[in-house]
Amino acid sequence: MIPSLEELHQIGAAQQPTYPDQAAVDAAVARLRTLPPLVFAGECDELKDKIAAASRGEAFILQGGDCAETFVDATADNTRNKLRVLLQMAVVLTYAASVPVVKIGRLAGQYAKPRSSDTETRDGVTLPAYRGDAVNGYDFTPESRIPDPQRLLEVYHASASTLNLVRAFTTGGYADLRQVHAWNSEFVRSSPVGARYEAMGKEIDRALTFMKAIGADPDEFHRVDFYSSHEALLMEYEHALTRIDSRTDDPYNVSGHFVWIGERTRQLDGAHVEYFRHIRNPIGCKLGPTATADDALALARKLNPDNEPGRLTFITRFGAGKIRDGLPSLVEKVTAEGVDVAWICDPMHGNTFEASNGYKTRRFEDVLDEVQGFFDVHRSLGTVPAGILVENTGDDVTEIIGGGEELSEQGLAHRYESVVDPRLNRVQSLEMAFLVAEMLRKS
């Protein structure tokens, strides 16, 4: 039986907002409990099978999207651009490395953020930290920073409209493989990586024409399976969107296909682990440089006691300088104990720093180096690198330095839009896909 919300709060949940009005929280939760599921249990099971395949090396997981979605940016254009760059990356990985790619968006629910500090100070003024649109407003005013439970309902509605659009795009012709060129807009095409993509697109066209000529035109050419994911951080929201599957009587989180536990909320005896233990979705758990092999093992035993393949993904985020030394002991121990997990590399969160002009950024080269380290570790241990998690966007933002366009620290000011962590822009995302495809081919 899934614990009640009250029980979870008694256990103690880290990183929760302090709402000023409990009656308003109760009303929002009660309303959320009546709303229809955003995803279906059967879809979650299907994704679990695909993650299991990736953990055996028979597929590769590409998880990507915003660090933090915002309500104002939940527009059709934004959703299409995000989807487009993920589809482009997936095509590059599929074609260049000849493996099926499991596509998971950090979208339709990625609205709540853990913060390292409860407060933010600007010019001597201290206010509560921004915790994502699910909690409070980004504007630096006392009113905007007050946690408002009505926002939980807005998360639901924004997620529903995003997911509706994603479903329409991925099954209604937009994701048709014959669109590979159409996804490559003028601006990308004019870059070296865009030209490389264009050349690959021509080869894919030729292959498709050949397949058609011999009478093969399977459904897979015309639609893709695309899944949603987010960090399940806020107990009120996640608990209210947990439902019992009528087929099996098992609880599922129906706000996203894949949900994960963040680095700051993975305490073995904390409320998040307790909640996640009960739901049947495929789940992730971040592991940073402070995680020991025993921590990893204990988490796996608690979160996946039946050792079900595809159920648990460890998303490691060590940082480029630490992964080669830090990751092996975890993988070794977990593997030696016969524990079934998928290992994914998040090369973003261990590589964040503040540029001299104050922007939070990452170096493209560090991001790539962490992925290379991840592949190296798994190759040397004979284990499987099952995928990557990136923070990226379909737009031409300037948030991460380096890459083929050699974005400099000064260049960050040009178009820095993220409200939390810096994201790979479209060109950097494509470059990354080609580079990761090479690593994958050799692994």
Cβ at position 6, least distance to ligand PEP in Å: 26
**What is the 8-class DSSP label of residue 18?**
-
Cβ at position 420, least distance to Mn ion in Å: 6
Q: Is 107 one of the binding residues for Mn ion (CB under 5 A)? A: no
Is the CB of residue 318 less than 8 Å from the CB of residue 288?
Answer: yes
DSSP string for 259-277? EEE-TTS--TTSHHHHHHH
Residue 256 interacts with which of Mn ion, ligand PEP, none, CB < 5 to 8 Å by class: none
Name which of 110 and 184 has its Cβ closer to Mn ion.
110
In the complex, residue closest to ligand PEP by CB: 262
Name which of 53 and 233 has its Cβ closer to ligand PEP.
233
Q: Is 349 one of the binding residues for ligand PEP (CB under 6 A)? A: yes
DSSP string for 114-166? --S-SEEEETTEEEEPP--TTTS-SSSSTTTTS--THHHHHHHHHHHHHHHHH
Cβ at position 102, least distance to ligand PEP in Å: 18
Cα(first)–Cα(last) distance of the chain, in Å? 42
Name which of 340 and 421 has its Cβ closer to Mn ion.
421
Q: Is 344 one of the binding residues for ligand PEP (CB under 6 A)? A: no
Cβ at position 89, least distance to ligand PEP in Å: 18
Residue 283 interacts with which of ligand PEP, Mn ion, none, CB < 5 to 8 Å by class: none
Cβ at position 231, least distance to Mn ion in Å: 9
φ, ψ for residue 155, nearest 5 deg: -60, -45
Name which of 349 and 363 has its Cβ closer to ligand PEP.
349
Kindly identify the residues of this chain, within the stretch 202-241, that bind ligand PEP according to CB under 6 A.
Answer: 231
Helix (H) or strand (E) segment spanning residue 189: helix 186-189
The residue from 66, 421, 430, 436 that contacts Mn ion (CB under 5 A) is 421
Name which of 82 and 349 has its Cβ closer to ligand PEP.
349
Q: Is 362 one of the binding residues for ligand PEP (CB under 6 A)? A: no
Cβ at position 231, least distance to ligand PEP in Å: 6
For residue 6, give both structure tokens. Answer: 């009250």
Q: Is 433 one of the binding residues for Mn ion (CB under 5 A)? A: no
Q: Is 66 one of the binding residues for Mn ion (CB under 5 A)? A: no
Which of 163, 103, 168, 113 lies closest to 138, judged by CA?
A: 113
The residue from 263, 274, 366, 431 that contacts ligand PEP (CB under 6 A) is 263
For residue 246, give both structure tokens. Answer: 């009528």
Using alpha carbons, list the distances in angstroms from residue 333 to 138, 218, 341. Answer: 42, 42, 12
Residues of the chain by 3-state class (helix, strand, coil), percent to 5: 45, 15, 40
Stretch 90-119: interaction string toward ligand PEP, x if CB under 6 A: ------------------------x-----
Is the CB of residue 274 less than 8 Å from the CB of residue 250?
Answer: no
Q: Residue type at 396? A: D
Q: Is 282 one of the binding residues for ligand PEP (CB under 6 A)? A: no
Which of 270, 322, 252 lies closest to 291, judged by CA?
A: 322
φ, ψ for residue 418, nearest 5 deg: -65, 140
Helix (H) or strand (E) segment spanning residue 345: strand 342-345
Q: Is 317 one of the binding residues for ligand PEP (CB under 6 A)? A: yes
Residue ranges in contact with Mn ion by CB under 5 A: 67, 421
Residues in contact with ligand PEP by CB under 6 A are 67, 114, 231, 262-264, 286, 317, 349, 421
